[in-house]
Amino acid sequence: MNVIVTGARQGIGKAVAEHFAERGDDLFLCSRNMDSTQAWQQQLMKEFGIRVMSINVDLSKPENAILFGKQVLDAMGSVDVLVNNAGVFQPGSVHNEPEGQLEKMLSVNLYSAYHLTRTLIPSMMQRKSGHIFNICSIAALKAYAAGGSYSISKFAMHGFSQNLREEMKMHGVKVTSVHPGAAMTDSWAGYPMEPNRIMEADDIAKLIVNAAYLSTQACVEEIVVRPQKGDL
């Protein structure tokens, strides 16, 4: 399969790319600094005999997301799986977070996926196949006091994903909303907690790859996964 992963430099995106690579799938990866992962990309190609392409891009700008989508189609011809993982977390509350934080959260966490998906999905519809995974969050299902604009943007991402699922049912294109709880990524770096309190990025990646390999008759609409001891 041809697999596109955004925000692939680290964390969940990187783990997703690795697990698809293990299956022998070709990858087109992006983040704002994919150049820093060249050695890792070379390792994937050598170990699994796959094709790996990557580009540095800021998907929060619509014109960049659209251009990236066109580059993907030019390079790969078709897309089997799109993992919209690009995102950023900044804590805050609606009443006192910095001015402009909502706009930033929406541009990275929602608009990037919206514009890239709109660029790639016509080719999926034409082929009547494809699978889109939108990385949402537990924060898209339950509000919390320090969620602020981050939580708002993730609620919006889930709404986008649900609407897209309804639109694509008759076109043979699957859509899955992924709602991870706390997982060991840079967002939690330096946070004091007991060992093994939160999930591994691999946990989420395994669920995504397994869902992508179900029969064409089956679509996992939502993946909700939390730490065994619950949310922090």
What value does the mean pLDDT take over residues 162-174? Answer: 98
Say how many Å lie between the first and final Cα of the chain, rounded.
Answer: 36
Residues 6+ apart with CB under 8 A from 230: none
Looking at residue 188, its pLDDT comes to 60
What value does the mean pLDDT take over residues 95-124? Answer: 96
Token reading at 130? 């494809």
Looking at residue 187, its pLDDT comes to 64
| DSSP structural state of residue 169 | G
CATH superfamily of 2-225: NAD(P)-binding Rossmann-like Domain (3.40.50.720)
Predicted model pTM: 0.94
What value does the mean pLDDT take over residues 95-111? Answer: 95
Q: Where in the chain are the domains?
A: 2-225
- The backbone region for 160, taken as left when phi is positive above 0, alpha when psi lies in -120 to 50, beta otherwise, is alpha
